[in-house]
Amino acid sequence: MTFELPDGTPLELHSGATGLDAARSIGEGLARAALAVKVGGDLRDLAAQLPEAGGRIEIVTSKSDEALWLVRHDAAHVLATAVMELYPGVKISIGPPIDSGFYYDFEFPDGVALSEADLEPIEARMREHVKADEPFERTDVAVGDALERFTREGQDYKVELISDLVRDQGVETVSLYRNGPFTDLCRGPHAPATKRIKAFKLTSVAGAYWRGDASRQMLTRVYGTAFLSKEELAEHLERLEQAKLRDHRKLGKELGLFLFSELSPGSPFWLPAGAQVWNGLTEFWRRENAGRDYEEVRTPILYDVELWKQSGHWDVYRDNMYFTDVEDRPMGLKPMNCPAHVQLYKDERRSYRDLPIRYAEAGLVHRHEPS
């Protein structure tokens, strides 16, 4: 098999060679540092066999762009490993890497309410698995076997995910990843073993609906972050602490800027000091807009639903809008300004010579979205 390295150098490998074989053929040091392999742009496990057709190949190490994604993906699995050991009967759903770290969503048994005070013992158990350097091992299994396994284990969310893959994509097999005592439904890839997670921290606990659907089960989401070195983690945690000091919810209360009330959930009540800040920001906004040739306009907040049908919001966004009937006429509060600004543009005949036309509005919008 013939592959091409990033610098254009050809790499000859025997049939059935893996990503690790490729790394070793270049050097033992690279093999020790390798986390995964990219072939033709696709990220793969080091243990995966390389395609017979060859192609462009790159060994992924801690210096690669994909490294952080990999270790955070690994950390999410180790988090689920620890939680399942500490809380028998817990149901697991999904646990992806994200820009700020990773999370995993759980349904805990009745009577168990996880809080941030519980994160330290979970972290401690995670460190045991990281220290043990448990390999991530992939197995491709028939859909029926996977469904039987997760049904037997009472993992309803995994059963649903597999069933959806069968219905939507017609899959006949799914991939499972095992690390230590834990096996998860996962597309991969992963780094070779848990010890590649050099630094991690669990950061918070929150609620999250299964699949983001408010009509489904409320799950417990555990957030964490992971980095390639303890120094990077320390810097990140320091940034988080600084951000907490500048949190608008904290400052708003301490400085007497605004308050919230259940009489209007999610909407601030601006106090006199807050109104002064608001007005100051508005003046700055107006100066900046004037310097960029924007004209200030004001538009209503309530519109006939016909506007939202014309704009397309009715088809794709109406679940996130507020509606009411006014004299038997269906109306909707605007979630954004642009459809109203289109009405301003349409009010008179225009020529291309008039362009660009720039409107600006400090509009009041309402969206029915989780805060």
Domain ranges across the chain: 2-60, 67-244, 269-360
Q: 2-60 and 67-244: same fold?
A: no
Averaged pLDDT for residues 157-164: 98
Mean of pLDDT values over 290-315: 95
Residue 370, pLDDT > 80, answer no
List all residues 6 or more positions away from 172 whose beta carbon is below 8 Å from its beta carbon: 142, 143
Q: What is the phi/psi pair of residue 318, to 5°?
A: -65, -25
Based on its alpha-carbon atoms, the radius of gyration of the chain, rounded to whole angstroms, reads 27
Calculate the average pLDDT of the chain: 95
On the question of a cis peptide bond just before residue 356, with omega within 30 degrees of 0, the verdict is yes
**Cα–Cα distance between 213 and 215 in angstroms, integer?**
5
What fold is seen in the domain 2-60? Ubiquitin-like (UB roll) (3.10.20)
**% residues pLDDT > 90 (the chain):** 94
Can you give the pLDDT at residue 371? Answer: 59
Q: Within a 13 Å sphere around the CA of 88, how many CA atoms are in the beta-carbon half?
A: 0
Q: Count the Cβ atoms, other than its own, within 10 Å of residue 63.
A: 9
Task: Determine if the pTM surpasses 0.75.
Answer: yes
Per-residue pLDDT at 291: 96
Give residue 144's Cα distance to chain centre.
30
Identify the sign of the CA torsion 342, 348, 349, 355: negative
Which CATH architecture group holds 67-244?
A: 2-Layer Sandwich (3.30)
Cα(83)–Cα(205) distance, rounded to whole angstroms?
Answer: 13
- Residue 207's H or E segment, with its range, is strand 199-209
pLDDT of 145 higher than 80: yes
